[in-house]
Amino acid sequence: MTIPFFPPDLFDGDLLLEVVEEVGLALDQRFILGERTAEFEAVLRDSLGVADAVACGSGTSALTLALQAMGVGPGDEVIVPAYGCAPLASAPLAVGATPVFADVDPWTMVVDPAEVDKLVTGRTKVIMPAHVFSVMADMPALRRIAADAGARLLEDSAVAQGGVLAGRPAGTWGDAGVFSFVQVKTFGMPGEGGMVVTGDPALGRAVRMLRNHGQDGVRRFVHHRVGGNSRFDEVMAAFQLRRFAGLPRRLERRARIGDYYTERFAGLAGRGVLAPPPGRDGRCFYVYSVLAERRDALREHLASRGIGTHVYYRAPLPRQPAFAGHAQPDRDWPAAESAARRQLALPIHPHLTDAQVEHIADEVCRFARHAGPDS
């Protein structure tokens, strides 16, 4: 039995060919920012109950455009998690701001609100939490901190589409939220793409303008502000529209697999393998990650049994060469360091069979019970 971490058959090839033909043979020959993109934006806007949804060229550019629309620039600080994907640091730097790295919760690996609160200064313009793997950040606490600080709250929900915390969807807790549609995300597609969602109509209009060279969509070649090119592909919009109705079913399958893993791994904490917290509130099941004291040995054990795994973020962001020079020199991030050393992601994609899921869980349990943390 061979179980790849990233499945080779994520998408229906016939569907992709159909939408390529649909867009390519359309009379208007519109391949970017056409009626399909507008429809896709409307579908996400209405499903989330937000004021606007703006499709962009990638999740990274969506983050950057949202910061730019919020007026973030030189002299401003953006508080971000110390553990996570590079855009958390590169997006603030791209607009001339300073990323301020907050340590994460040692169990969930999402940013710790208490750490964020300690880092707020008069220069804090935005607090930018990220949902990580299968756990959403503590958005109610972070929302209170942002409100008290007079800062904007930008929610990096790149991995969390479909997640719900306290009845509120991921992406809708802040002044704006961001999704990513890159291939392996929960609503991934065979290309790059992202979305900014917001309850602030003015912010939505600003992002919409910035993604298309500062044009407002009314008259071409009239540039109201300095923008860039982060336009959405019509083929991908058509593809996503065809697949949107099946998203709840795929998310439910992921959640069921996550529930099963967490139940099976509940007794392994004392043996060096720690599962995420149980339950579904505030969960997203993009990636199912355990924290393993002997991470590399567990990975080798699973590989020998035909099970693919993945290690994310082998170093905290402030320890990365690109960002170390922007980090506060007198600080450390012990929980982020621990996560980088122990994190291991297991397959959780909806194409897994029950037998494959059971095999993965069996082998994790076998390793933990026979090896243990100190063997």
- Domains identified in the chain and CATH numbers: 13-245 (3.40.640.10), 246-371 (3.90.1150.10)
Hey, CA dihedral for 20, 25, 26, 29, is it positive or negative?
positive
Token reading at 164: 């719900």
Contacts of 107 (CB under 8 A, 6+ apart): 274, 276, 277, 291
Tokens of 219: 């008259």
pLDDT in tens, the chain (375 residues): 689 998 877 777 788 889 999 998 888 878 898 999 999 999 999 999 999 999 999 999 999 999 999 999 999 999 999 999 999 999 999 999 999 999 999 999 999 999 999 999 999 999 999 999 999 999 999 999 999 999 999 999 999 999 999 999 999 999 999 999 998 899 999 999 999 999 999 999 999 999 999 898 878 888 999 999 999 999 999 999 999 999 999 999 999 999 999 999 999 999 999 999 999 999 999 999 999 999 999 999 999 999 999 999 999 999 999 999 999 888 999 999 999 999 999 999 999 999 999 999 999 999 999 875 554
Are the C-beta atoms of 76 and 99 separated by less than 8 Å?
Answer: no
- Quick check: pTM over 0.75? yes
Total number of residues shown for the chain: 375
Alpha-carbon distance of 50 to 135, in angstroms, equals 22
Q: Letter for the amino acid at 106? A: P
**Contacts of residue 113, Cβ cutoff 8 Å, sequence gap at least 6:** 138, 141, 142, 145
Rounded to the nearest 10 degrees, what angle do helices 354-371 and 247-264 cross at?
Answer: 30
